[in-house]
C-alpha cells in the first residue's frame, strides 16, 4: 500500500507530466508554494470555475457575481482585522536558521510520534486477531494505546488554550517540554515564538507622490463587503441575496508544502449571503447542506467528504464549519462555511464613516445585514478532483493503464479526434469531423503514434471520448467511439457524435442534481 506521501508524489508527477501543473519559474528552480497551471490544468480549472459560477449565480435568482480589484484601500484590512490579527505563530531554529510554524511543529509531533504509534499497534493487533478484531474496543482498552491517547489529549488541551490566549511563551514551552528538534539541524536550539502577519505588503504610487503601503488581498470576501451597497442598490436586490466572486488571494504561508493545497498565491470562490439579523442560523444550515450537495454532485464518492464543525469560532463568527475532503494526505479542509454575523459590515461602517445599512421595505426599517459566507479554494478543488480521479488499473491482459476518470463535464478535452493512419484521406476526414464538433466541445486532434498509445495518452488526460476515423469511415461515414471509463468501442454514424458526446459531458446534468 502506498503511503500518503507516495500517493501525493504520484499526483504531482502526473500533473507535471501531462501539463496540468508546473512549479512556478521552474528554470530558476521554482518558487516555494507558487505553481503555474499548464495547458490541461488551465482548462480543468476553468471548468471547475464554470461549475461553481453556474451553480451559485445562474441557478439562484437572488445571487449575482462581481469581480473586484486585488488592491484595496489599506483601511479595508484594518477594519477587517487582518492587519492586527491575521497571524501565524513562528519559531526559528538558531542552528539551521529554518523557520517553522510553532502550531504545526506541535501538530506534527502528535501525528508522527503518538498517532503513528497507535496506528502501528492497531495494525499489529489486526494481523494477530484477524476477522475477530474489534478496533473500537481495542482503542479503549489496550493500556499502551490508552496511554498514547491520554498524552495526545493533554497536549491538545494545552495547545488549544495557548492559541486561544495568544500565549506565545506557553507555545514555546510546549515545544521545549515535548523535546521537539529541528528536522534539519536536529537541535532544540529555538528562538522565542513570535506572531507573523500573513499579508503581503507592497507600495502604491511613485516615491515622488509619496508611496503608500498597501496589501495584496488575503481573501476575496472584503471586495464583496465594500461593494455590497453598490450591488444592492444598482441590482435592486432584496434581502436575502448573495454576491459571488472568483479571484486570486495571497498569503505569506510559512509552512508551504503539500503541492497546491497550501499556496502563497491561490484562488478562492466565495459567496457572501446577506440576511436579516436573526435568520443567520437558518441560512447557515441551508448553505452547509447546499455546498456539500454541490461537491457530491461531482460523483467522486460521497465517502470522501465530511463536515468538521468548529467548536471555537473566530471572534466575528457565531457558527463555522469546514467541508473536509480525503486528499492523498488524509482528510483536510476544502471549503469553509461561516456565519460571520454583521462584524465585517459594522467594522467597515465604523472605519469608513459611511452608512452600510439596508432599508428593508417589508419591515420599513434600516439594519446592517448578517452574512453567511461560503468559501472554497479553487486550487484545493482542483487537487481534490485530480487525486480522486487518478486510477491505476490492471487490465485483463496483465498490462496497466493510468486513467483520470474526471467528471466528464470537467475534462480538459471532451473528445480526441484520431485518424487511424496519417494517409489515404483519413486526416482530411478527421479534420472535417473536428470542424463540426469544435463549436460544441474542446476537441483534440492527434495523428502521431499507434492508436493504442493515443488511447492511453487520452486516458491519462481524462478525455471522456476518443473518436477513430478509419478507411471504412470514408465509405459509410461511421466512426469508432471509445468510452474512457469502460473502454468499450462502438461504431456510430458521424451525425450522431454530437448527441452522444453531449449526453455525457453536459454540465447541466450535474447542475440538475442540485435542485
Ligand atoms: N473568506 C474566508 C476565508 O478566506 P479561509 O478558511 O481562510 O476563509 C477559505 O479560506 C478557503 O480558501 C479554504 O477552505 C481553502 O480552500 C482556501 N485556502 C485558504 N488558504 C489557502 C492557501 N494558502 N492555499 C490554497 N488554498 C487556500
- Separation of CA 19 and ligand 1 centre (Å): 25
The pLDDT score that the predictor gives to residue 130 is 85
pLDDT value at position 211?
Answer: 65
CA of 377 to the centre of ligand 1 (A): 6
What pLDDT score was predicted for residue 119?
87
Q: What are phi and psi of 341, to 5 degrees?
A: 50, -150
Q: Is pLDDT of 314 > 80?
A: no
- Mean pLDDT, residues 259-266: 96
**247 Cα–ligand 1 center, Å:** 12
Percent of the chain with pLDDT over 70: 98
Q: How confident is the model at residue 348 (pLDDT cuts 50, 70, 90)?
A: very high
Q: Is 278 left (phi over 0), alpha (psi -120 to 50) or beta?
A: left
Atom of ligand 1 nearest to the CA of 219: 4
Q: How far does the centroid of ligand 1 lie from the alpha carbon of residue 322, in Å? A: 10
- Please choose from 336, 338, 372 the residue to mutate so as to test ligand 1's pocket, defined by most ligand atoms within 8 A of CB: 336
Atom 9 in ligand 1: residue holding the nearest Cα: 375
Where residue 207 falls among pLDDT bands split at 50, 70, 90?
low
Q: Is the pLDDT of residue 454 over 80?
A: yes
Angle between helices 143-164 and 102-109 (to 10 degrees): 170
Look at phi and psi of residue 113 and say left if phi exceeds 0, alpha if psi is from -120 to 50, else beta.
alpha
**Does residue 311 surpass a pLDDT of 80?**
no
Cα(268) to ligand 1 centroid in Å equals 7
Which domains, ranges and CATH numbers included, belong to the chain? Answer: 1-72+217-394 (3.30.930.10), 87-197 (3.30.40.230), 403-514 (3.40.50.800)
Q: Kindly indicate the confidence band of residue 122, based on its pLDDT and cuts at 50, 70 and 90.
A: confident
Residue-wise pLDDT for 483-504, tens only, equals 999 999 999 999 999 999 999 9
Confidence of residue 210 (pLDDT cuts 50, 70, 90): low
Q: What is the pLDDT of residue 129?
A: 86
Query: So what's the pLDDT on residue 135?
Result: 86
Query: In three state form, how does the secondary structure of 250-309 look?
Result: ECCCCCCCCHHHCCCEEEEEEEEEEECCCCHHHHHHHHHHHHHHHHHCCCCCHHHEEEEE
User: Which residue's C-alpha comes closest to atom 19 of ligand 1?
Assistant: 377
Between the alpha carbon of residue 432 and those of residues 111, 254, 435, 505, the distances in Å are 58, 53, 5, 21
Question: 321, 375, 381, 384: which to mutate for ligand 1, most atoms within 8 A of CB?
Answer: 375
Residue with the smallest CA separation from ligand 1 atom 7 is: 219
Give 216 Cα–ligand 1 centroid separation in angstroms: 15
Q: Which residue has the cell 470522501?
A: 304
pTM comes to: 0.89
- Our mutation pick for probing the ligand 1 site, out of 252, 268, 319, 344, counting the most ligand atoms within 8 A of Cβ, is 268
Residue 206 pLDDT class (50, 70, 90 cuts): low
CA–centroid distance, residue 508 to ligand 1 (Å): 27
Where residue 1 falls among pLDDT bands split at 50, 70, 90? low
Ligand 1 pocket at CB < 6 A: 219, 221, 251, 253, 262-263, 266, 268, 270, 333-336, 373, 375-377, 379-380
* Ligand 1 centroid – CA 271 distance (Å): 13
Give the ligand 1 atom nearest the CA of 263: 24
Cell matching residue 191: 528562538
* 267 CA from centroid of ligand 1 (Å): 8
Query: If you search the block for the grid coordinates 494545552, which residue do you land on?
Result: 158
Q: Show the CA angle centred on residue 56, arms to residues 52 and 61, nearest 5°.
A: 150
Q: Which residue from 89, 109, 253 is spatially nearest to 168, judged by alpha carbons?
A: 89
State the pLDDT confidence band at 208, using cuts at 50, 70 and 90: low
How far, in Å, from the CA of 178 to the mean position of ligand 1? 30
Neighbouring C-alpha atoms within 13 Å toward the C-beta of 35: 26
Mean pLDDT of the chain: 94
Pocket perturbation via mutation, ligand 1, pick of 333, 334, 343 by most ligand atoms within 8 A of CB: 333
Query: How far away, in angstroms, is 462 Cα from ligand 1 center?
Result: 27
pLDDT > 90 fraction of the chain, expressed in percent and rounded: 80
Q: Which of 242, 266, 341 to mutate to test the pocket of ligand 1 (most atoms within 8 A of CB)?
A: 266
Instruction: Please choose, from the candidates 201, 177, 202, 204, the residue with its C-alpha nearest in 3D space to the C-alpha of residue 188.
Output: 177
- Measured in Å, residue 136 CA sits from the centre of ligand 1 at 34
Looking from the CA of residue 270, the nearest atom of ligand 1 is 1
What CA–CA distance (Å, rounded) separates 188 from 194? 17
pLDDT for res 116: 87
The answer to whether residue 257 scores a pLDDT higher than 80 is no
- Residue 31 CA to ligand 1 center (angstroms) comes to 20
Mutate to test the pocket of ligand 1, among 34, 45, 86, 380 (most ligand atoms within 8 A of CB): 380
Residue whose CA is at the smallest distance from ligand 1 atom 15? 377
Distance 159 CA to ligand 1 centre (A): 22
| Ligand 1 atom, smallest distance to 338 CA | 2
Amino acid at each position: 500500500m502506498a503511503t500518503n506521501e507516495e500517493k501525493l508524489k504520484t499526483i504531482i508527477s502526473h500533473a507535471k507530466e501531462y501539463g496540468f501543473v508546473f512549479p512556478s519559474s521552474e528554470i530558476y528552480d521554482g518558487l516555494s508554494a507558487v505553481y503555474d497551471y499548464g495547458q490541461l490544468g488551465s482548462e480543468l480549472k476553468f471548468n471547475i470555475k464554470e461549475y461553481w459560477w453556474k451553480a451559485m449565480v445562474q441557478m439562484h435568482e437572488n445571487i449575482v457575481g462581481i469581480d473586484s480589484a486585488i488592491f484595496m484601500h489599506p483601511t479595508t484590512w484594518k477594519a477587517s482585522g487582518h492587519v492586527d490579527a491575521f497571524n501565524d505563530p513562528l519559531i526559528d531554529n538558531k542552528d539551521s536558521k529554518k523557520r517553522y510554524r510553532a502550531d504545526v511543529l506541535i501538530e506534527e509531533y502528535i501525528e508522527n510520534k503518538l498517532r503513528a504509534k497507535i496506528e502501528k499497534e492497531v495494525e499489529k493487533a489486526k494481523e494477530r486477531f484477524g476477522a475477530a478484531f474489534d478496533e473500537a474496543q481495542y482503542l479503549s482498552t489496550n493500556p499502551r494505546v490508552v496511554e498514547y491517547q491520554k498524552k495526545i489529549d493533554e497536549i491538545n488541551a494545552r495547545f488549544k488554550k495557548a492559541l486561544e490566549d495568544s500565549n506565545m511563551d506557553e507555545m514555546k514551552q510546549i515545544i521545549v517540554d515535548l523535546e521537539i528538534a529541528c528536522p534539519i539541524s536536529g537541535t532544540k536550539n529555538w528562538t522565542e515564538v513570535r506572531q507573523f502577519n500573513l499579508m503581503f505588503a507592497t507600495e502604491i504610487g511613485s516615491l515622488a507622490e509619496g508611496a503608500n503601503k498597501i496589501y495584496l488581498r488575503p481573501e476575496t470576501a472584503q471586495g464583496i463587503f465594500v461593494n455590497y451597497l453598490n450591488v444592492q442598490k444598482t441590482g435592486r436586490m432584496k434581502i436575502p441575496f448573495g454576491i459571488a466572486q472568483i479571484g486570486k488571494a495571497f498569503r505569506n504561508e510559512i509552512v508551504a508544502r503539500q503541492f497546491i493545497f497550501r499556496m502563497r498565491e491561490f484562488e478562492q470562490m466565495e459567496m457572501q449571503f446577506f440576511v436579516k439579523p436573526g435568520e443567520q442560523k437558518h441560512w447557515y444550515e441551508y448553505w452547509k447542506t447546499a455546498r456539500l450537495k454541490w461537491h457530491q454532485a461531482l460523483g467522486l464518492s460521497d465517502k470522501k467528504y465530511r463536515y468538521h464543525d468548529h467548536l471555537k469560532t473566530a471572534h466575528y463568527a457565531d457558527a463555522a464549519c469546514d467541508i473536509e475532503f480525503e486528499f492523498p494526505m488524509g482528510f483536510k479542509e476544502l471549503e469553509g462555511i461561516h456565519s460571520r454575523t454583521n462584524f465585517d459590515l459594522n467594522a467597515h461602517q465604523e472605519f469608513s464613516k459611511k452608512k452600510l445599512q439596508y432599508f428593508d421595505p417589508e419591515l420599513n426599517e434600516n439594519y446592517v445585514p448578517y452574512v453567511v459566507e461560503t468559501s472554497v479554494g479553487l486550487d484545493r478543488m482542483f487537487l481534490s478532483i485530480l487525486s480522486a480521479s487518478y486510477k491505476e488499473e490492471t487490465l485483463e491482459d496483465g498490462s496497466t493503464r493510468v486513467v483520470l476518470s474526471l467528471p466528464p463535464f470537467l475534462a480538459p478535452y471532451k473528445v480526441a479526434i484520431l485518424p487511424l493512419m496519417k494517409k489515404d484521406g483519413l486526416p482530411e476526414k478527421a479534420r472535417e469531423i473536428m470542424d463540426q464538433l469544435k463549436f460544441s466541445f474542446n476537441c483534440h486532434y492527434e495523428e502521431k503514434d499507434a492508436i493504442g498509445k493515443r488511447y492511453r495518452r487520452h486516458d491519462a488526460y481524462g478525455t471522456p471520448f476518443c473518436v477513430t476515423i478509419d478507411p471504412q469511415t470514408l465509405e459509410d461515414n461511421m466512426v469508432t467511439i471509445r468510452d474512457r471509463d469502460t473502454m468499450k468501442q462502438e461504431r456510430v454514424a458521424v451525425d450522431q457524435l454530437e448527441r452522444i458526446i453531449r449526453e455525457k459531458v453536459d454540465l447541466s446534468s450535474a447542475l440538475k442534481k442540485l435542485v
